[in-house]
Amino acid sequence: MSDSRPNATQSGLKALIAKGKEQSYLTYAEVNDHLPDTISDPDQVEDIIQMINDMGI
């Protein structure tokens, strides 16, 4: 049995990045809406936000 959570997380991040590239920005609410509930560690959230910033979004 495979765990689909990594794929769901990856899919959510891809959608988030696509939206950010389209708008040229993301709000914290948009980031929170696209992150799965399984990500509860503030360090993980900060890493994702930093990655998005590094992409110029």
Mean pLDDT for each consecutive 10-residue tract of the chain (57 residues)?
Answer: 60 90 93 82 89 93
> Which long-range contacts does 33-41 make (Cβ < 8 Å, 24+ apart)?
35/9, 36/5, 36/8, 36/9, 36/12, 38/5, 38/9, 39/9
How far is residue 27's CA from residue 3's CA, in Å, rounded to a whole number? 29
pLDDT the model gives residue 6: 63
pLDDT the model gives residue 52: 92
pLDDT the model gives residue 9: 75
pLDDT the model gives residue 2: 46
- Give the residue numbers spanning the domain of 50: 5-54
pLDDT the model gives residue 41: 86
pLDDT the model gives residue 1: 43
Residues 6+ apart with CB under 8 A from 38: 5, 9
pLDDT the model gives residue 22: 95
Residue that the structure tokens 């765990």 belong to: 3
Q: How many domains does the chain have?
A: 1
